Chains A and B, each alone.
Chain A
Amino acid sequence: MAVSFKGPRKFLTILLFIAPTLIGLFILSVYPITYNIYISFNNRNTFRPRANCEGAPVGGEVPPAWQTRLTQVLEPTCWEVFSNTKTVGRGQFYSFSDPLGENYTKLFGDLITRESLISLTRLLGALSPLLIVWGIRRYLNRQISPPRSWWLWPLGVVVVYGLWQLLDASAAITQLQDTGDFFVVLFRTILYVLACIPLFFLMGLVLALILNNEHIRGRGIWRSLLIVPWAVQSYIAALVWQFFFRGEVGTINQLLKALGIVEKGPTWLGDPNRPWLAFAAVVIINLWMSYPFFTVVILGALQSIPHEQYEAAEVDGANWWDKLTLITLPLLRPAVLPAVVLSSITTFQMFNTVWLVTRGGPVSGAGKPGFTEFVMLHAYRLFQDQNFGRMGAFAVIVFAMLFVATLFSLRYTRITKGAYE
């Protein structure tokens, strides 16, 4: 390594370089995460604005000393430095919830019961053939001359369908959806990711294959026009598309009417009887915003595939399907996988676009999460409803999931290695 020096001087130099960033991150990231954990054990789910800094009795009982101590350390309104901005409100004290994990149990609802766990097993069991197919193909493709095995996928889907009926997975989902908001929100967010990513890939692949064909004229211009959505800021895109999907005045419905297809278009975003329309709308909008990224990534990878490979395959009598599945797709893998992983994480935690378009709706009943109320929107709604304790618990769980996903994605994106290589 470039720098070889030892002892206290090394320590001080490194500190000089890193300390400002670390201090910044400690205050602006570590502290908020810690505070979220703290607040997730509090009963701050209705209007309880004041922190019990002095350990005054609540409901006739003096809180234990460790609780008061924790509050004094973590609650900024208790800190001496900020005593001049202290709010002297009238509201109640918030305190630790009783039992301590109440926010978590309320959040999960009935998800941790025997019945729900059986349903979950049934659901995962019905889907397991896909995992098995993936494993077999992974093994086969390691062989020196791997046999063709793409047909395992349709076979797997058929087996999944059979198991789905056999294990009655639909009933399992219905049961799980009754357990509470957490499962519903998470399930729909995963559905959203699963609906979006293959579409991104497919549209990116088709366009990149066409743009990579040298018989097409003006490829530079086509490419520039096709990646325009990438340059549009997400909130502007969301607001314009929101206008497109409006009911009476919405552009899409007006277009349908002008073309004489339907007299009165559907209520895209707010129809509780047909919530799939709103779901489809946010998928289309996300597709519009994200396919350019995939097109550019795939096009770049296509251009690095040597021509000789295709020529050799043609000599061997390969048709276009053989070339696509045996040469193009396997060689695209290393470039596309990081894009898929990163887009999945971004889509999972998408807020702006979905919120600006649907506000999480349509809602089928009071207090229930709306059909497009994905993970981040749910967190935001808990915040708006002043369910601070519950939001803290939700944030802790989502954070854990995202952290695991990020660590997992490291294997594919090699984020710790030099990124500009």
Chain B
Amino acid sequence: MKKLNPFVKFLFYAVLVVAVIFAVYPIWFMFLASIRPGQSLVSLDLAGMFWPTEVTWSNYQAMLFGTPIPGSNPYDFWRWVYNSLKVAGLTTIATLFISTSAAFAVSRFQFRGREMLLIFFLAIQAFPGILSLIPIAQLLTAMGLFGTHLGLILAYSAGALVFNTWNLKGYFDTIPVELEEAAMIDGAGPIQSFIRIVLPLSTPALAVTAWFGFLGGFSEFVLASILLAGKPGQDTLPVALWKLSGSQSVPWGQFAAGALLISIPLLIIFFLTQRFLVSGLTIGGVKG
């Protein structure tokens, strides 16, 4: 292999360094803000923008054990985490339970209208949640579910159902049919071959699909901010952190602390599951 021209090599490293600063600095800045005392973000010297000059953990204390928003309940942060986990988790479990069998049917059975059904799924996928705000709000109001977590779960389910069905259908298509045919010779019906053969083989795909679905609900902002109608104690994390970041009475450092507390576990999981990322994201095209 030919040696690289030293000037080109220097240029390559320079590009990498600049790109890494661009990539990482916002997160590093969040960390700096979260350990800085008080409101001193406004007047910073050059050193303070890159390196911690004074260190305090009070922002983390306020988020974890105190009252993040003055005058509200202590341990609110945990309340938001709980709300988000509840909404995103229940959406994922419920929709996965329903849509796995549909994905199997679309992948395996030949029936009239199958192509139409696939186009239908696509059409629905092309309809972003914001555009159905009015009908969903109207429906939830009539059902008495406006401003409740159950209502929000229903609103999220539409997107999650299509996403799951697509993702899992794509995976089921790759499982060889011969396995099921062998089972059918032994007398298994379609339901048995689905439960006994295909499902055990698809655990990784189910996990990846569930994780992406979960992340979508966990970071959704618009529908939550409207359909929960801003009732205190109901907020999910994105809505609550958004309120914190814009609040005049709360130091921005507290928002940074809260945002980091959420981001770090997700960053760790992200780097552990990296290799699934590309396949998972290019399939659905229905991020969030």
Q: Which residues of A contact B (CB under 8 A)?
A: 1-3, 5, 10, 13-14, 16-18, 20-22, 24-25, 27-33, 35-36, 39, 75-77, 79, 82, 85, 87, 203, 206-207, 210, 213-216, 222, 224-237, 239-244, 248-249, 251, 254-255, 258-259, 288, 292-293, 296-297, 300, 338-339, 342, 345-346, 349, 351-352, 355-356, 376, 379-380, 383, 388, 391-392, 395, 398-399, 402-403, 405-407, 409-410, 413, 415-421
Cross-chain contact B111 with A14 (CB below 8 angstroms): yes
> Which residue from chain B places its CB closest to the CB of A211 in the assembled complex?
B16
In whole Å, how far is B221's beta carbon from the nearest beta carbon of chain A?
A: 5
Q: List 21 A-B contacts (CB under 8 A).
A: A1-B108, A14-B109, A16-B101, A21-B101, A27-B139, A28-B161, A29-B162, A35-B134, A77-B142, A85-B142, A230-B277, A234-B219, A235-B241, A236-B241, A236-B263, A243-B252, A258-B45, A300-B278, A383-B130, A406-B122, A419-B279
Cross-chain contact B20 with A32 (CB below 8 angstroms): no
Cross-chain contact B171 with A18 (CB below 8 angstroms): no
Contact with A along B199-238 (1 / 0, CB 8 A): 0000001000000000100110110000000000000001
From known contacts A20-B98, A228-B27, infer whether A356 and B221 are also in contact, taking CB-CB under 8 Å.
yes
From known contacts A235-B238, A288-B22, infer whether A339 and B282 are also in contact, taking CB-CB under 8 Å.
yes
Cross-interface CB contact of B142 among A16, A36, A82, cutoff 8 Å: A82
Cross-interface CB contact of B193 among A2, A213, A345, A419, cutoff 8 Å: A2
Q: What 7 A-B pairs have minimum CB-CB distances, sorted nearest first? A: A419-B170, A418-B173, A76-B142, A28-B158, A32-B132, A231-B270, A21-B102
Cross-chain contact A25 with B124 (CB below 8 angstroms): yes
Cross-chain contact B263 with A1 (CB below 8 angstroms): no
Q: Which of B55-63, B66-74, B75-83, B176-184 contacts A (4 or more CB under 8 A)?
A: B176-184
> Is B116 at the interface (CB under 8 A from chain A)?
no
How far apart are the CA atoms of A249 and B125 in the complex, in Å?
41
Chain A contacts of B87 at CB under 8 A? none
> Is B187 at the interface (CB under 8 A from chain A)?
no
> Is B99 at the interface (CB under 8 A from chain A)?
yes
In whole Å, how far is B25's beta carbon from the nearest beta carbon of chain A?
A: 9
Chain B contacts of A402 at CB under 8 A? 126-128
From known contacts A85-B144, A232-B27, A420-B205, infer whether A36 and B167 are also in contact, taking CB-CB under 8 Å.
no
Cross-interface CB contact of A31 among B108, B139, B288, cutoff 8 Å: B139
From known contacts A20-B101, A300-B278, infer whether A29 and B27 are also in contact, taking CB-CB under 8 Å.
no
Q: Which B13-55 residues have a C-beta within 8 angstroms of A?
A: 13, 15-16, 19-20, 22-24, 26-27, 29-30, 41-42, 44-46, 49
Cross-chain contact B105 with A14 (CB below 8 angstroms): yes
From known contacts A2-B193, A235-B238, A249-B42, infer whether A36 and B12 are also in contact, taking CB-CB under 8 Å.
no
> Is B245 at the interface (CB under 8 A from chain A)?
yes
Contact with A along B161-200 (1 / 0, CB 8 A): 1100111001101100100110010000111011000000
> Which residue from chain A places its CB closest to the CB of B239 in the assembled complex?
A235
In whole Å, how far is A280's beta carbon from the nearest beta carbon of chain B?
A: 15
In whole Å, how far is B213's beta carbon from the nearest beta carbon of chain A?
A: 14
In whole Å, how far is B248's beta carbon from the nearest beta carbon of chain A?
A: 12
Chain A contacts of B15 at CB under 8 A? 206-207, 210
Cross-chain contact B242 with A235 (CB below 8 angstroms): yes
In whole Å, how far is A242's beta carbon from the nearest beta carbon of chain B?
A: 8
In whole Å, how far is A178's beta carbon from the nearest beta carbon of chain B?
A: 26
In whole Å, how far is B200's beta carbon from the nearest beta carbon of chain A?
A: 16
> Is B93 at the interface (CB under 8 A from chain A)?
no
Cross-chain contact A418 with B122 (CB below 8 angstroms): no
In whole Å, how far is A127's beta carbon from the nearest beta carbon of chain B?
A: 26
In whole Å, how far is B176's beta carbon from the nearest beta carbon of chain A?
A: 10
How far apart are the CA atoms of A395 and B20 in the complex, in Å?
40
> Which residue from chain A places its CB closest to the CB of B283 in the assembled complex?
A419
| Contacts beyond the supplied A22-B102, A222-B16, A258-B45: 13 A-B pairs with Cβ under 8 Å | A3-B180, A32-B136, A85-B144, A206-B15, A214-B1, A235-B221, A239-B245, A242-B245, A339-B282, A355-B222, A379-B130, A388-B134, A395-B131
Cross-chain contact B20 with A226 (CB below 8 angstroms): yes
Chain A contacts of B177 at CB under 8 A? 1-2
Q: Which residues of B contact A (CB under 8 A)?
A: 1, 3-4, 9, 12-13, 15-16, 19-20, 22-24, 26-27, 29-30, 41-42, 44-46, 49, 95, 98-99, 101-102, 104-106, 108-111, 117-119, 121-128, 130-136, 138-139, 141-144, 154-155, 157-158, 161-162, 165-167, 170-171, 173-174, 177, 180-181, 184, 189-191, 193-194, 205, 215, 218-219, 221-222, 238, 241-242, 245, 252, 255-256, 259, 262-263, 266-267, 270-271, 274, 277-279, 281-283, 285, 287-288
How far apart are the CA atoms of A152 and B145 in the complex, in Å?
59
In whole Å, how far is B47's beta carbon from the nearest beta carbon of chain A?
A: 9
Cross-chain contact A296 with B277 (CB below 8 angstroms): yes
Cross-chain contact B285 with A345 (CB below 8 angstroms): yes
Chain A contacts of B136 at CB under 8 A? 28, 32
From known contacts A1-B110, A3-B108, A14-B111, infer whether A20 and B138 are also in contact, taking CB-CB under 8 Å.
no
The residue in B16, B99, B180, B288 that gathers the most chain A C-beta atoms within 10 A of its C-beta is B16
Cross-chain contact B167 with A419 (CB below 8 angstroms): yes
How far apart are the CA atoms of A206 and B8 in the complex, in Å?
13
In whole Å, how far is A240's beta carbon from the nearest beta carbon of chain B?
A: 5
In whole Å, how far is B102's beta carbon from the nearest beta carbon of chain A?
A: 4
Cross-interface CB contact of A288 among B23, B171, B191, B279, cutoff 8 Å: B23
> Which residue from chain A places its CB closest to the CB of B44 in the assembled complex?
A254
Chain A contacts of B170 at CB under 8 A? 417-420
> Which residue from chain B places its CB closest to the CB of A284 in the assembled complex?
B22
Cross-chain contact B122 with A24 (CB below 8 angstroms): no
How far apart are the CA atoms of A154 and B130 in the complex, in Å?
40
> Which residue from chain B places its CB closest to the CB of A383 in the assembled complex?
B133
> Which residue from chain A places its CB closest to the CB of B49 in the assembled complex?
A255
> Which residue from chain B places its CB closest to the CB of A399 in the assembled complex?
B127
Chain A contacts of B221 at CB under 8 A? 235, 352, 356
Chain B contacts of A234 at CB under 8 A? 219, 288
Cross-interface CB contact of B166 among A339, A346, A415, cutoff 8 Å: A415
In whole Å, how far is A300's beta carbon from the nearest beta carbon of chain B?
A: 6
Cross-chain contact A13 with B190 (CB below 8 angstroms): yes
Cross-chain contact B134 with A76 (CB below 8 angstroms): no
In whole Å, how far is B62's beta carbon from the nearest beta carbon of chain A?
A: 18
In whole Å, how far is B74's beta carbon from the nearest beta carbon of chain A?
A: 23
Cross-interface CB contact of A413 among B20, B95, B124, B285, cutoff 8 Å: B285
